[in-house]
Structure 1
Amino acid sequence: MDTQRVRYYAYFTNADAAEGEGEEDELEVLVESWDADGRALVLVPEEGRLVPATDRPGFLRVERYEVPQVRGVLPGGNWRLRKKDGPKFGHQVVAFLVYDGYVRPVSALPSANRRWRTNTETHHLFQAD
């Protein structure tokens, strides 16, 4: 389990996002390190090296993200999760992650950056019959 409580992300404009297609207009990249001048360094996989985020095209900003700590896990029971505009049947909730002050249903692995993308505005939690 990752015990680092604070992470930083660099945000860039997403040149590949099609307007009106529901894709995000920003790309989020994990800050891997900091240079001697305090600049955020991000990995450029094609080049195999760390470079200052400010030197990359489309740089917008760097933000601090405090990684919430899981305090416990509960079984998913008979709960299902679906997108509000998605299919009616939804996905089986396999577990609920318990954090300080809230729980998060788990029906799939998190995105590549390890942040969950579900929220009450986009998803609906219901009990299966």
Structure 2
Amino acid sequence: MEALEEAENRWRRRRARIAANPSLNLAYRIGVGAVGALVLAAGIVTIPYPGPGWLIVFAGLGILASEFGWAHRLLHRVRARYDSFMVWFSRQSAAVKSIGVVFTAIVVIATLWFLGTFGLIGTWVGLEQPWLESPL
């Protein structure tokens, strides 16, 4: 626990030095905003896919919340809604949970098709069908 407190104190001192220089502080905040926005956007894109979509969203909001009060408030609000939804979803019947699995599968399959994955794999195994090709 002591090592964590020491690291936090070092970070606070470093951040205070950055904040003391207005142009450096502005550049730092712009950098945090850009990185946080990119991570948040990646998380939003990956939400419907199996994997860490929501974790990436929370990471992006956490990065933004380190500098922006609105992001801190939004992070807590989104986290509360996510927790409420997961409690609700866990109480649902097998039919509702199955619909969630089917929806996820449809999103993944559609994405793979749009990205041309099926057409590419089809050429590897000698199966070249026009419907496997991406419409893009």
Question: Could you say whether these structures have the same fold, taking a TM-score greater than 0.5 normalized by the shorter chain as the test?
Answer: no
Q: Which has the higher contact order (CA 8 A, sep 6+)?
A: 1
More helix by share: 2
TM-score by length of 2: 0.18
**Structure 1 length-normalised TM:** 0.19
* Higher strand fraction (1 or 2): 1
